[in-house]
Amino acid sequence: MSSDTVLSVSQARDHFSDAVNRAAFGGEITYVTRGRGRQLAAAIVPAEFVERYEAMIDREHGRIALERLADLDAGRTKAVTSDEVARALGL
């Protein structure tokens, strides 16, 4: 994060268009902070970063689903209905 831009919420609002252009055309990340402790709250990133992240998450969820189906097929686990879950949780 050292070479990336860090702006407060009010600075980000004042320079939003510039931050978006730096992300879109320069591949830069702008971190947005809030509060007196300047805690990181958000980031303006190139859309490609988000698209790659979402694709990675989709692949991981698919892998996990296939593992769970294999566990069901092999008898290592069993399926339960939503009614059974609700009953077990006292809902």
For the segment 69-90, the average pLDDT, to the nearest whole number, is: 94
Return the pLDDT at 37. Answer: 84
Is it the case that residue 1 has pLDDT exceeding 90?
A: no
Residue type, position 55, single letter: A
pTM exceeds 0.75: no
> pLDDT band for position 4 (50/70/90)?
confident
Residues in Cβ contact with 46 at an 8 Å cutoff, skipping those fewer than 6 apart? 23, 24, 27, 28, 29
| pLDDT at residue 77 tops 60 | yes
Q: Strand 39-44 and strand 5-8: pairing?
A: unpaired
Q: Do residues 1 and 33 make contact, with C-beta atoms less than 8 angstroms apart? A: no
DSSP summary character for residue 76: S
